[in-house]
């Protein structure tokens, strides 16, 4: 029968195709090795590895809140399901203690685990692939000298068919470019060094670049804004919503201290990034800052002009609304709430009593996406235990969704020239309910 033969032929194609794909996608396991003796490892490599790990923020993903450092277990929600970070302590059974340098390097550069399994790009090997041999060796040295912890992370819960790891090979085929980036001859060595750090170990684009439907970074929208753990990661390029465009100097200060007077405090997932960068040699952070700033410095002359006017107004202690929306006739709830709850710290005077910035400078208030402003108001900002740093109480218990919406609506009108946010009450409700997670 003709149909029968066509079907048979199709089946043959699928089977041969699948077999071909599997043959191509299959990665061999790397043999287990004995756990290296920590005292045999070069101390300088370990030190440099520590700096790299701080820049790469490894501990943040690979540790649970209550868990031991690097022992994994942290829940990472993705649009495709939940992935749990692995144990990267040198434990021989539940960690990477019996991984060879080669196995480690393959994981970092190719996204393949020791047993040959393809790794989910929640682990940003599409960035780590750029690391030099030296840097990978340094990280290996650092991780192999951590305290081993016996801890098995929970099993991942990823949607079919992506829960078959081999499908990642397909993803990689479409979106993953292995290996180092060649230097850009249009820029100097310092800039290229910054790009190496930022695009490599620091993987800034993993949050700050938008992703496509299959979860890959859109190469042509580099640093145009993305998201992480329910927070909006603002654009860092010319589209940056920051009222005052970032410069290398201000960005350096912000990345080191988690705060900058013309921009405010690092919140959400950015706060731990700054905690890590505070502990890294300043010149590395400087390189990153200079590189990223080269994109934000592409802000339009119009934006710069607005920024200069804004700073001038703030310096003159002028108190008229920055925002274009008229406040007359609007529901005064937001204004009243602001006066009673926010003004103690965010007073619009030079005194900066409680350490809060004038919100006309706030990226969150000026961003197209209201998510960050909502989250900051609900959750607050909390410094590292025992360290001084930006601190803001959360108002989740104090205010209803309507009240938060009124407050944010007022802030947007008062402190921003951007159009009003739509649908704030619903947005607040969703954020509070833990939706909008990706």
Residues that bind another protein (CB under 8 A): 43, 46-47, 49-50, 59, 69, 142, 145-147, 317, 333, 336-337, 339-341, 343-345, 347, 349, 351, 353-355, 380, 383, 385-393, 395-400, 403
Q: Is 76 helix (H, G, I), strand (E, B) or coil?
A: strand
In angstroms, give the least distance from the CB of 403 to another protein. 5
In the complex with another protein, the residue whose CB is nearer, 177 or 352, is: 352
Count how many Cα atoms sit within 13 Å of the Cα of residue 104 in the half-sphere of its side chain: 25
Nearer CB in complex with another protein: 84/338: 338
Cβ closest to another protein, residue 52 vs residue 119: 52
Work out how close the CB of 149 gets to another protein at its nearest, in angstroms, rounded to a whole number. 11
The pair of structure tokens assigned to 322 is 């920055």
Q: Is the peptide bond before 161 cis (omega within 30 degrees of 0)?
A: yes
Q: How far is the CB of 298 from another protein (least distance, A)?
A: 34
Shortest Å, Cβ 50 to another protein:
4
Beta carbon of residue 237, minimum distance to another protein (angstroms, whole number):
32
DSSP string, 198-259: HHTTT-THHHHS-B-TTS-B-GGGTTS-EEETTEEE---STT---SS---HHHHHHHHHHSE
Cα(64)–Cα(75) distance, rounded to whole angstroms? Answer: 8
Nearest approach, Cβ of residue 342 and another protein (Å): 8
Which H or E element spans position 104? helix 101-110
- What is the C-alpha to C-alpha distance for residues 273 and 68, in angstroms, rounded to an integer? 18
Which of 237/362 has CB closer to another protein?
362
Residue among 216, 52, 219, 236 at smallest CA distance from 122: 216
CA distance 438 to 435: 9
What does residue 30 show for φ and ψ, rounded to 5 degrees? -100, 135
Residue 92 vs 393, nearer CB to another protein: 393
Pick 215 or 393: Cβ nearer another protein? 393
Which CB atom, from 157 or from 384, has the smaller least distance to another protein?
384
What is the smallest separation between the CB atom of 435 and another protein, expressed in angstroms?
21
Residue closer to another protein (CB basis): 225 or 390? 390
β-partners of residue 381 are: 392
Smallest distance, Å, CB 391 to another protein?
4
Q: Are 415 and 360 in contact (CB under 8 A)?
A: yes
Place of tokens 């803001």: 392
Strands 231-233 and 264-265: unpaired
Distance CA 366, CA 310 (A): 13
Comparing CB distances to another protein, the nearer of 61 and 236 is 61
| C-alpha separations of 430 from 82, 106, 375, 399 in Å | 19, 40, 11, 15
SS3 381: strand
C-beta of residue 223 within 8 angstroms of C-beta of residue 204 = yes
User: Residue 46 CB, nearest distance to another protein (Å)?
Assistant: 5
At closest approach, how far in Å is the CB of 402 from another protein? 10
Q: Cβ closer to another protein: 216 or 335?
A: 335
The smaller minimum CB distance to another protein, of residues 48 and 130, is found at: 48
Residue 430: CB minimum distance to another protein, A: 19
Q: What is the DSSP string of 249-283?
A: HHHHHHHHHSEETTTEE--TTHHHHHHHHTTS-HH
Structure tokens at 41: 């490892």
């Amino acid at each position: 029968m003709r149909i029968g033969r066509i079907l048979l032929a199709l089946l043959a194609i699928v089977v041969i195709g699948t077999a071909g794909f599997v043959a191509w996608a299959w990665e061999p396991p790397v043999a287990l090795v004995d756990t290296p003796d920590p005292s045999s490892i070069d101390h300088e490599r370990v030190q440099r590895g520590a700096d790299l790990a701080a820049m790469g923020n490894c501990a943040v993903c690979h540790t649970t809140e209550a868990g031991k450092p690097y022992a994994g277990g942290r829940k990472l929600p993705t649009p495709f399901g939940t992935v749990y970070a692995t144990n990267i302590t040198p434990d021989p059974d539940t960690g990477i203690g019996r991984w060879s340098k080669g196995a480690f390097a393959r994981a970092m550069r190719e996204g393949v685990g020791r047993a040959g399994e393809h790794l989910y790009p929640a682990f940003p090997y599409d960035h780590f692939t750029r690391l030099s041999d030296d840097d990978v060796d340094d990280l290996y040295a650092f991780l192999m000298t951590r305290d081993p912890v016996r801890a098995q992370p929970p099993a991942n819960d990823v949607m079919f068919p992506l829960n078959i790891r081999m499908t990642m090979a397909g993803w990689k085929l479409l979106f993953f470019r292995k290996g180092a980036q060649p230097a850009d001859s249009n820029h100097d060595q310092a800039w290229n060094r910054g790009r190496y750090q930022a695009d490599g170990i620091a993987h800034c684009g993993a949050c700050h670049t938008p992703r496509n439907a299959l979860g890959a970074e859109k190469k042509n929208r580099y640093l145009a804004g993305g998201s992480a753990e329910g927070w909006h990661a603002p654009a860092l390029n010319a589209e940056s919503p920051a009222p005052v465009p970032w410069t290398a100097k201000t960005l350096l200060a912000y990345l080191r201290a988690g705060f900058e007077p013309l921009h405010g405090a690092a919140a959400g997932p950015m706060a731990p990034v700054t905690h890590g960068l505070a502990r890294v040699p300043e010149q590395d952070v400087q390189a990153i800052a200079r590189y990223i700033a080269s994109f934000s410095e592409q802000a339009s002359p119009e934006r710069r002009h607005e920024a200069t006017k804004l700073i001038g107004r703030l310096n003159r202690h002028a108190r008229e609304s920055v925002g274009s929306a008229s406040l007359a006739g609007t529901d005064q709830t937001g204004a009243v709430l602001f006066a009673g709850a926010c003004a103690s710290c965010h007073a619009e005077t030079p005194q900066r009593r409680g350490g809060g910035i004038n919100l006309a400078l706030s990226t969150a208030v000026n961003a197209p996406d209201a998510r960050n402003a909502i989250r900051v108001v609900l959750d607050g900002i909390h410094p590292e235990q025992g360290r001084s740093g930006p601190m803001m109480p959360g108002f989740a218990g104090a205010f209803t969704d309507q009240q938060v919406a009124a407050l944010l609506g007022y802030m947007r009108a008062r402190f921003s020239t951007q159009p009003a946010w739509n649908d704030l009450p619903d947005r607040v409700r969703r954020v509070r309910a833990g939706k909008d997670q990706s």
